Amino acid sequence: MVGKENLRTEDLNLCFEKLMMLVDGGGDGIDVGAKGVKMDGGVIAGWKDIPMELLLQIISLVDDRTVIVASGVCCGWRDAICFGLTHLSLSWCKKNMNNLVLSLAPKFAKLQTLILRQDKPQLADDAVETIASYCHDLQVLDLRKSSKLSDLSLYALAHGCPDLVKLNISGCTAFSDTALAYLASYCRKLKVLNLCSCVKAASDTALQAIGQYCNSLQSVNLGWCENVSDVGVMSLAYGCRDLRTLDLCGCVLITDDSVIAMANMCPHLRSLGLYYCQNITDRAMYSLAHSCIKHKPTKWGTTGKGKNDDDGLRTLNISQCTALTPPAVQAVCDSFPALHTCSGRHSLIMSGCLNLMSVHCACAVQAHRAPSAFPYPAH
């Protein structure tokens, strides 16, 4: 049990009586009598009689801590919850998360989503190995800030959870690029990968493997992965053509070549983070602006739907990119209507670039001109 808490029979009976009061005068198919709640499928005289379908509906409305406690009430509840539970978060657990995972993973083998975010590192390799041994249907796994984990965890996930679609290992600083490349070769369905601050793991070698095997990737976070260069980013661009979101904030080695590759090879790119990438110049900006024309559908519709404000870049962070000039950035802003500099809609982020203060989106210019649009009062 969690924190040595348990549900006593008296507590469950009290909860059931409250449930009777709530459903009194209920809807179709429900009749409240002296002996309990009569439903279409029979009579519920106590909490042990709750059908599995109804129990799972109730479980879906409570927090994850209560779900775990409920799974220990009786064999029937345990079997129902273990069979039907597909999403679980243990991020509320501030102590002994590792032991909790070791206890729960064998029971909750049908999990598809498991969130194990931590403020302070708690998880060890044996917990992840247990997850990989039992939770073979897992699609979403969040191991954020699990800095105690070693390569053994990635090797285990590679073999035990090949259907992973979304993986967050940001802040897992002990992983190597060899283990990450190995994982990529097995988990080829990945669409979202967060490697923020994984300085050792996120190398050009690992990104080359990811570009080779994970062709369905749509979102990659490489924030503050200081060893990433143009070689790695270009491998992603050429191998993952469906990329929608790429965060390169703090990747100080990249140059215009990375942005140009993304502009040319990733027509669905919607969000690009280049914060503190100070090697980026106007050449990269003009490449992005030109990509808007390159990827625009022809009149025969050979490249997709007609152009609208939602096509192309929607978010661009060029904060601290001090080599950029206003004409180049303005060209990008003019090419993508979804990029805004106006108040409340900042999607073109230029903090720390005082020389770019003259760059404005179309609606910001219109708002500035609005007071003078009708100089004379209407009659």
Residue ranges of the domains in the chain?
49-85, 87-293+312-356
Min mean pLDDT across 73-82, 113-122, 131-140 is at 73-82
Indicate whether 266 pLDDT > 80: yes
CB distance 314 to 347 below 8 Å = yes
**What is the pLDDT, as a whole number, of residue 74?**
77
pLDDT at residue 284 is higher than 70 = yes
Task: Tell me the per-residue pLDDT of 138-184, one tens digit each, with 9 for 90 and over.
Answer: 999 999 999 999 999 999 999 999 999 999 999 999 999 999 999 99
Q: What are 191-230's pLDDT values in tens digits?
A: 999 999 999 999 999 999 999 999 999 999 999 999 999 9
| Joined tokens for residue 46 | 């106590």
Instruction: Determine the pLDDT at residue 2.
Output: 42
**For the chain, what is the largest distance between any 2 Cα atoms, rounded to a whole number of angstroms?**
80
3-state secondary structure the chain: CHHHCCCCHHHHHHHHHHHHHHHCCCCCCEEEECCEEEECCEEECCHHHCCHHHHHHHHCCCCHHHHHHHCCCCHHHHHHHHHHCCEEECCCCCCCHHHHHHHHCCCCCCCCEEECCCCCCCCCHHHHHHHHHHCCCCCEEECCCCCCCCHHHHHHHHHHCCCCCEEECCCCCCCCHHHHHHHHHHCCCCCEEECCCCCCCCCHHHHHHHHHHCCCCCEEECCCCCCCCHHHHHHHHHHCCCCCEEECCCCCCCCHHHHHHHHHHCCCCCEEECCCCCCCCHHHHHHHHHHHHHCCCCCCCCCCCCCCCCCCCCEEECCCCCCCCHHHHHHHHHHCCCCCCCCCCCCEECCCCHHHCCCCCHHHHHHHHHHHCCCCCCC
Q: What pLDDT shows up at residue 377?
A: 47
State percent of the chain over pLDDT 70: 78
Q: State the first-to-last Cα distance of the chain, in angstroms, to the nearest integer.
A: 77
Instruction: Using alpha carbons, list the distances in angstroms from residue 327 to 60, 160, 275.
Output: 53, 51, 19
Quick one: average pLDDT of 308-330? 91
Q: What is the pLDDT of residue 28?
A: 47
Neighbour count for residue 358 (Cβ, 10 Å): 9
pLDDT of 35 above 80: no
User: pLDDT tens digits for 10-32?
Assistant: 555 555 555 445 444 444 444 44
Per-residue pLDDT at 70 exceeds 90: no
Assign a CATH topology to domain 87-293+312-356.
Answer: 3.80.10
Q: Does the structure show a pLDDT above 70 at 312?
A: yes
